[in-house]
Amino acid sequence: MRFLARRLGFYLLTAWAAITLNFLIPRLMPGDPVELLVARMKGNVDPAAIDAMRRAFGISDASPWRQYLDYLGNLAHGELGRSITFFPTEVSTVIADSLPWTVGLVGVATLISYLIGTSLGVIMAWKRGTWLDGVLPGATFMHAVPYFWVALALVFVFGVTLQWFPVSRAYGLDVMPGLTGEFARSVLYHATLPAITIVLASMADRILGMRNVMVTTLGEDYVVMAEAKGLTSRRVMWAYAARNAILPNITSFALSLGFVVGGSVLTEIVFSYPGIGSMLLKGVENEDFPLMQGIFLVISLAVLVANFLADLAYVVLDPRTRQETE
């Protein structure tokens, strides 16, 4: 459990760093955000909005230390300030409305991509030297493709040309949100293209990474031994080689999560998906600094939680991390 405790400590530290970064960014970047906003809106700002913003940033005449403590206090109460775009809605409400869409879409797509990518990597390593190696150049190419470009291409082919799938929104205009089968079908139908985008764009990393580790593992003596004992290839491939090869793969998966989330932000924007990525862009476009910052904070914390889950999976798979002695 020491392993988990250490990781948890690191994530708490990182969460604190993200929170502090969030406090520092508006103060360190050139210009006062409040004055910037007033200048850009040419004075057409609700005085109440300015006041709310000052409070959201904790910008006052108090000492920086006092401001920082006030900010932490507000945060502890879930107080992220009020959005300028949707004034007077609270930033936390805007986020609460959009977060489920993102978590659903990105969570499911990432899981699918991980499962397919890793399995493909295992199989490709097992059958290396066969026609399956033909996938490699394709994976090498997909590994560097920008998410939003995949999204544009899918919209063009399946949305506009073939008209198989809708290209924007999260559910049809004709259905009422609710716990009905019709609504669920509409949501799935609308999520198809965005999900395929994320799966396609993030899968190549998993295939290439898993294949490389697996190929190295296949040369280990215990794999040769297992084969010599006459175990079925399936058992050797999955229970002996893949089970060991998957450990570095989980670490690299956790590290790539930030990148996947960044790509998903862009994907959401292409599809006008009502998630947190679209909200982030709206915030930036409207100089809605409280919304922008609240979203950055939530995305960072979500990535930390996902990382911790990956660590839990690691502990389950690797008995060495469960040993009490160092």
Partner 1 sequence: MKIKIGAGILVFFALMAVLGPLLIGADPAATSEDGLQGPSAEHWLGTTQTGQDILLQIVYGARVSLGVGVLSALIATVLAVAVGLVGGYVGGAVDEALSVLTNIFLVLPALPLIIVLAGYLPQRGAASVAVVIAVTGWAWGARVLRAQTLSVRRRDYVQAARASGEGPLRIVFYEILPVLLPVIATSFLATVVAAILAEAGLSFLGLADLSTVSWGSMLYFAQNGQALLIGAWWWFIPPGLCIALIGTGLALVNFGIDEIANPRLRTIKAPRKART
Nearest to 214 by CA among 319, 132, 119: 119
Is residue 24 part of the contact set for partner 1 (CB under 8 A)? no
Contact between 245 and 213 under an 8 Å Cβ cutoff? The reply is yes
The count of chain residues that interact with partner 1, using the rule CB under 8 A, is 68
Is residue 23 part of the contact set for partner 1 (CB under 8 A)? no
6-24: b (≥16 Cβ within 10 Å) or e? ebeeebeeeeeebbeebbe
Among positions 268-297, residues that touch partner 1 (CB under 8 A) are: 269-270, 280-281, 283-285, 287, 289, 292-293, 295-296
154: Cβ contacts below 8 Å, ≥ 6 apart: 193, 196, 197
CA 159, CA 170: separation in Å to the nearest integer?
Answer: 14
CA 62, CA 68: separation in Å to the nearest integer?
Answer: 10
Write the interaction track for partner 1 spanning residues 197-236; mark x where CB under 8 A is met and - where it is not: -----------x---x--xx-xx-----------------
Is residue 253 part of the contact set for partner 1 (CB under 8 A)? no
SS3 90: strand
Is residue 83 part of the contact set for partner 1 (CB under 8 A)? no
Which residues make up the interface to partner 1 (CB under 8 A)? 10-11, 13-14, 17-18, 21, 25-26, 29-31, 33, 36, 128-129, 133, 136, 140-146, 148-149, 152-153, 155-156, 159-161, 167, 208, 212, 215-216, 218-219, 255, 257-259, 261-263, 265-266, 269-270, 280-281, 283-285, 287, 289, 292-293, 295-296, 299-300, 303-304, 307
